[in-house]
Structure 1
């Protein structure tokens, strides 16, 4: 037996030697594809197709138009439109970013020659990953911004395609790149005002993204408020003007109302940042691990409790941002063009801010999570406190759905489509509350809940036409609605918080977890699961480390002989093995 093992080891050693020789030969092959050291991030864009698989320039420019129509400020602001389009026309945008723009724009139907639909999105995203070189050894100034812009666009595509875990990891990587690049502090004064503001907006876009993707358990924030020293975004008019404007406040100044700075002075995009900051607090309070700090052991109704502090912040925001004024009135008075049409780039952050505001209240006082939190407190909760909390939560859940319906009726296609998948999460959270109140003893409340739940499902089904992840939310919500009677006892303030079993609690927690909502309920088998066409980011990044053409290889087993592998297998690889995508990386 020992001799047999030795002979097999000798055969393996010979195979490895021949494999190494083959790799060395391939490395010297002049026809080898682009690799980590030779890849040019700034190849020019030509009027016709190029060897880099880029479509003609007119298609790329059409994609840029679609991107700014449907994606800019919804909720992320990554580019100065005029400058970015000029760079595109001159071929000064890295290929990875060009393909990411194409992939983002391909989601929306148009009359342009741009290919659209899931296959086009996947194809462009794969090409973008091929061209992207991650800066393991530091960042060059000329490509630092483009790298993180590209990663965020691709992370959004992955997240909405059901790969929330891998997308969260990628955003975390990009945040480290941002920190290394120095975007957490004010840009250098020698940059133009447009470049300075673009850098601020890229930073705050990642800040918002971090807050949204952290809406769930075991998703700690990567960007802490106290470490964010860059000034808040300016107004859209100032950004467009490319002229110097008065410096804006910092997040510290606004959160602490220091130095006379008021939230009323913020731009709509800065308002989104301010409310996203409070959303992070609400998420940690409701879904985060509940520690034993001095505030944690206090009664929630105490004026110094975490709940009271967060609620005070929301009251201040409600006052400063004039959230009591109907959205349509603000749009008509302040955010319309000269011809009376809606300025979508100004209105989109207003809608997003209002939606986050209602979401904060829904999470902060969610009937089940809020009542279970009382298990940490040994005393008896005042009945009036519980009733007020439930009424507040139900009111904001209803207001959130009404806001989404109001937006859908706006005479602006790019706004009425409610073009971001996070709105699906917001609607789902509100819908879980409506599902509970289906069983209210008050017929009027039960009927309102039924109407809001029906409207929520319609909104989600509309979003699912653009965003695959939203279809998973529809499935979960229908299941929750069918089985919602088990939560009915929580509508009575005297019900003990511990009556629910662990399975019931898990169902509610997952319905409030953005990452879980954005992934399929289960993957029991490869045949039963409709796999994503988007490449696995971790697997593909590992491939980028090898000096071979960017492709997905056949992984030979020890028993395979080197001679049995076709020589073409090193340059033309087939699709990945199913288990790789099952990892959801």
Structure 2
């Protein structure tokens, strides 16, 4: 009898409750309250109860006359949209519940880390799943997203219509926006654990919805937008492997959907703009995460136009004179466009860094070298940037915090563009990478190249330090995590240059090192991978300091350096939790990555560039004569003009020469021979 009963199909629910009926959701049918309504914490009522209420003269809420004012009509639309969203959420919760039940029955291995990071939503009881906040809170967090995340770095949405259309967007986008924006809602979640739980909960719900969409269809533009947001969240949480999967999936879907081509069908301007923004956001995401990709096999000129950009806010200074010679034949494509262009150069630079300075048969000063090609590409790009988006016309010294905050949609991309420019040159001329790449050319290094790289590293590290000080002085909240990476790159350079017997230089460089570390720590309050990066900088400083013990009067002082500590900082895509692969892959796929095996080197100095000696006994670089006081570099995209109040106070006239003298001095270069390596543990 039991077997016969077991073989019968489940009894169909004759009647759905009123909330499920309105939302056209599959009602479980439990009475007096169905499980779906219980999970969504909404009132459950069946038609029989409705009739009883009417018989007793009680008019239920849903039978009240519908107001006809525009405000109430908008409210009704939002209510219906929320109802549909809740119904979809119910389906996801059911699926998660089934997966959780299967997971509980399956054998577990406690030694394998949780592949979802903080906590797996599928393993939580229904009461702990993160519900959608009230619509008022959703809009509040969405406003924070626009303020602190839009174009910082991804220009994903059409800002002017984003809030008004949020109620009509697919729920996976809403949850992904919450996952990014809620970290800026300090008044709502002051407890760090509660905030992390909320972020993780929103992320997992968005992931479940978007994967269901991809598997069942139809894939929409919102699907790609959600994948971009999830990739950014995963990257900043240290799950770089899963982040790469999401962004690569978005890129593949964009290619299959011909998102790179302008559609021939008639579209509303906002819809067309969001298509463009989505495509370029995917490109920007891949490049900033250090992935260089091809042109998708598309013919030249087939890419969509760059996203629209806000104009630079008007300067208070009425006497600002624009340089007409730099505006000739230059079409202003917007600040966001120039960030996207520069990201291509950064992706090539990141690839250069991943080579770890392995020497080749082509010296870096050759026009055929990777170093020279990247420098040439950056200079070519600089010729295409209109003067209006350069440093001098920005008049940053005159901008108040209120002005900066009110126009973050421009200043966010502007600061990213500035810092990205300097970071590329810092990486290309990093003392560690140069010393490694020049191993095969120690007796033939041109003096010009030594002076060139010395002056570049001095100038561009100082610029990034200057921006860090500017943010502190203005109390401007930096929300773009990439700026933290830039500060970390400078910190490794300042740390390397601090190992000198010159007390003044040593103290200055250490002060700049800790200034950068403090900046990264500040961003770590918002982005977990920045907190880990700051910790790595501290551990690097401890290890290098412990190894630097020069003997009194020694001619060749050297450092014993674990190079892997540098690579995990300099490679942005690796600035994450080392367990990222372990979280992502199971036993059949996971293997230890050999990328950062202990690589230890004992080092000695490269040749110094020849400098003139002043009467004070300090060598002066010829470049310092052009640094701040002549008209020669004034047209440079990122050069401080003479007399400006933003002139870095620590940039002395002879700083270029001081750093040049010590650039390759005792203890500055880290490698004597590529064969002189030994494997040791941590310091």
Match of 2:81 in 1: 45
Measured in 1, the distance between the counterparts of 2:341 and 2:501 equals: 38
Q: Is the 2:235–2:576 Cα contact (8 Å) retained in structure 1?
A: yes
- For 1:344-423, list aligned pairs within 5 A: 344-375=408-439, 380-410=444-474, 416-423=476-483
Within the candidate set 322, 325, 339, 1:272 is matched to 339
- For 1:175-254, list aligned pairs within 5 A: 175-188=251-264, 190-214=266-290, 220-224=291-295, 227=298, 229-237=302-310
Measured in 1, the distance between the counterparts of 2:210 and 2:544 equals: 46
Correspondence 1:471 to 2:531? yes
Within the candidate set 229, 235, 245, 1:169 is matched to 245
Match of 1:5 in 2: none
Measured in 1, the distance between the counterparts of 2:229 and 2:235 equals: 10
Aligned CA distance change for structure 1 residues 198 and 291 (closer, same or farther; 3 Å): farther
Measured in 2, the distance between the counterparts of 1:198 and 1:367 equals: 42
Residue 405 of structure 1: how far off its partner (Å): 2.5
Q: Secondary structure at the match of 1:197?
A: helix
Structure 1 residues 458-467 or 225-234, which shifts more?
225-234
Match of 1:440 in 2: 500
- Which has the larger Rg? 2
Residue 30 of structure 1: how far off its partner (Å): 7.0
Match of 1:460 in 2: 520
Aligned CA distance change for structure 1 residues 388 and 236 (closer, same or farther; 3 Å): closer
- For 1:129-144, list aligned pairs within 5 A: 129-133=207-211, 140=218, 143-144=219-220
Which TM-score applies when normalising by structure 2?
0.59
Within the candidate set 298, 302, 323, 2:362 is matched to 298
Aligned CA distance change for structure 1 residues 427 and 79 (closer, same or farther; 3 Å): same
Q: Is the 1:75–1:420 Cα contact (8 Å) retained in structure 2?
A: yes
Aligned CA distance change for structure 1 residues 401 and 45 (closer, same or farther; 3 Å): farther
Q: Secondary structure at the match of 1:401?
A: helix
Aligned CA distance change for structure 1 residues 324 and 136 (closer, same or farther; 3 Å): closer
Runs (5+) with no aligned partner, structure 1: 1-17, 35-41, 215-219, 239-259, 524-530, 540-577
Match of 1:74 in 2: 152
Q: Secondary structure at the match of 1:302?
A: coil
Residue 442 of structure 1: how far off its partner (Å): 4.4
Match of 2:635 in 1: none
Q: Secondary structure at the match of 2:562?
A: helix
Match of 1:308 in 2: 372
Match of 1:100 in 2: 176
Residue 582 of structure 1: how far off its partner (Å): 12
Match of 1:146 in 2: 222
Measured in 2, the distance between the counterparts of 1:273 and 1:27 equals: 55
Within the candidate set 391, 405, 410, 1:325 is matched to 391
Residue 408 of structure 1: how far off its partner (Å): 3.7
Structure 1 residues 473-482 or 192-201, which shifts more?
192-201
Aligned residue pair count? 463
Residue 169 of structure 1: how far off its partner (Å): 1.8
Correspondence 1:87 to 2:145? no
Aligned CA distance change for structure 1 residues 510 and 117 (closer, same or farther; 3 Å): same
Within the candidate set 140, 156, 165, 1:62 is matched to 140
Q: Deviations over 1:94-145 (max 9, x none)?
A: 11111111111111125569997211111111221222235657964xx521
Measured in 1, the distance between the counterparts of 2:297 and 2:450 equals: 33
Q: Deviations over 1:488-508 (max 9, x none)?
A: 99xxxx999xx988x723222
Aligned CA distance change for structure 1 residues 63 and 312 (closer, same or farther; 3 Å): same
Q: Is the 2:491–2:516 Cα contact (8 Å) retained in structure 1?
A: yes
Which TM-score applies when normalising by structure 1?
0.68
Residue 329 of structure 1: how far off its partner (Å): 0.6
Root-mean-square deviation (CA, aligned residues, Å) is 4.5
Q: Secondary structure at the match of 1:46?
A: helix
Measured in 1, the distance between the counterparts of 2:336 and 2:489 equals: 23
Correspondence 1:449 to 2:476? no
Q: Secondary structure at the match of 2:533?
A: helix
Q: Is the 1:425–1:514 Cα contact (8 Å) retained in structure 2?
A: yes
Residue 55 of structure 1: how far off its partner (Å): 2.5
Aligned CA distance change for structure 1 residues 381 and 31 (closer, same or farther; 3 Å): farther
Q: Is the 1:431–1:453 Cα contact (8 Å) retained in structure 2?
A: yes
Match of 2:564 in 1: 506
Q: Deviations over 1:238-270 (max 9, x none)?
A: 9xxxxxxxxxxxxxxxxxxxxx974x6231100
Within the candidate set 186, 198, 206, 1:120 is matched to 198
Measured in 2, the distance between the counterparts of 1:127 and 1:176 equals: 23
Match of 1:516 in 2: 574
Q: Is the 1:463–1:470 Cα contact (8 Å) retained in structure 2?
A: yes
Q: Is the 1:366–1:433 Cα contact (8 Å) retained in structure 2?
A: yes
For CA contacts below 8 A with separation 6 or more, give which structure has more relative contact order.
Answer: 1
Aligned CA distance change for structure 1 residues 401 and 580 (closer, same or farther; 3 Å): farther
Q: Is the 2:175–2:206 Cα contact (8 Å) retained in structure 1?
A: yes
Within the candidate set 421, 424, 441, 2:484 is matched to 424
Q: Deviations over 1:177-199 (max 9, x none)?
A: 11112122224451122222221
Residue 342 of structure 1: how far off its partner (Å): 4.1
Q: Deviations over 1:32-87 (max 9, x none)?
A: 999xxxxxxx9953389946343222122112111111111101011112323222
Runs (5+) with no aligned partner, structure 2: 14-25, 30-34, 37-77, 90-130, 312-327, 594-683
Q: Secondary structure at the match of 2:81?
A: coil
Correspondence 1:157 to 2:233? yes
Measured in 1, the distance between the counterparts of 2:455 and 2:232 equals: 35
Measured in 2, the distance between the counterparts of 1:150 and 1:440 equals: 50
